[in-house]
Amino acid sequence: MRFTFNPLKPIGSRIIIKEVTVQNEPINMKRKYRLCLKHYLYSGNDGYHVFPQCPLLLDEEKCPILIILIQNYFRTVQVLKGFERSRTRHRQSLIPLTERQKLMPQLSSSKAEADDENHLLTSSDATDATSRWNTARRLLIEEREKLSANLIAPIVDGRIKMITA
Backbone torsions φ then ψ of 22, nearest 5 degrees: -125, 120
Separation of first and last alpha carbons in the chain: 22
> What is the percent of the chain where pLDDT is above 70?
82
* Interatomic CA distance for residues 114 and 97, integer angstroms: 25
Question: For 17-57, how does the pLDDT look when each residue is reduced to its tens digit (9 = 90+)?
Answer: 999 999 889 999 999 999 888 899 999 998 888 899 999 99
Q: Which of 85, 61, 63 is nearest to 75 (CA)?
A: 85
Mean pLDDT over each residue of the chain, to the nearest integer: 80
Instruction: Note the pLDDT of residue 16.
Output: 94
Mean per-residue pLDDT for 145-162? Answer: 80
| Higher-pLDDT residue of 110, 131 | 131
Residue boundaries of the structural domains of the chain: 66-149
For residue 104, what pLDDT is reported? 65
pLDDT, tens only, 61-86: 888 888 888 888 888 888 877 788 87
If we measure between CA atoms, which residue out of 75, 95, 97, 94 comes closest to residue 86? 75
Determine if the pTM surpasses 0.85: no
Cα dist. 62→41, 96, 144 in Å?
17, 20, 30
